[in-house]
Structure 1
Amino acid sequence: MRLVGCSLIFFGLVMASLVPAHADDNHSGVVTNLVIRSGNDWTGSPLPNYLSSTPEVAVLRFTIPPQTALPIHQHPAINVAYVMDGELTVFQEGGIQRTFKKGEVVIEMVEKWHHGMNQGSVPVELVVFYATTKDLPLAIRKPQP
């Protein structure tokens, strides 16, 4: 038990010494901008509690051609998309929609049916970050009637 306590103190000291390096005025040229931090999805609904099993991170890059709609789907885990280029309109089943432009972030809905569409004339480039668990699908397509 004493070893665990000492290890935690050592870890805390190491982490405390690392944190200022990113915000240190002595490193010219390093700029940090918070793009988004929220406990809500893009509709304003609260995100669910984080998964209770061992986490796994997945990162995907998407290219969506102009005038292309993704299939209706839902996500079983929290994920966010950074719009690298173009404009993506996201539609929640039932009528709510919002358009995200280059440089904006889409905090996706969890376990709610929705889809995205590129209604523009240039490809949409997204990088999507998933906070998931091993063997959990990143998306589930809505079954066709």
Structure 2
Amino acid sequence: APKKSGWDYIGLEANEKTLTEGDSGPRLVSARAGDLLLWDSRTVHCNTLPLEEDQDLLHGDQLVRAVAYICMTPAAWCTEKVANQRAAAFKRGVTTSHWPHEFHAMDIDATAPGFNLTKVQRELLSPQTAPGWRQEYVQA
């Protein structure tokens, strides 16, 4: 049976009926370099390591893949306290849940990433740090 681990995540084993029975069954979504996949996370999904072992790729210095999980909710749902907590967590390299209007730290012992962002990049990643963000993003 599926095991709920919290954080709106349910882990499935490879032989889980959800994956093995029914008309549709599992599907492999193939993508090439540069492809963009948009997925409705309410649909059962998973990821996997590359199906073919390419030693040059596995031991090289190029990315196998880059993934960004994005969840959007109305800005009005996010309190100023939560926005500040999430911005501070980002600066420390702390991973949080997918829910942008809640604060759930996943890794409190994280090390801050070793890169510097411009002011514009910081505001894109954390708009609540931009002056007047609440007036721009939250409608009264």
Q: TM-score normalised by the shorter chain: which range applies? A: under 0.3
Which structure has more strand as a fraction of its residues?
1
- Which structure exhibits the higher relative contact order, with contacts defined as CA atoms closer than 8 Å and separated by 6 or more residues? 1
TM-score (norm: length of structure 2): 0.25
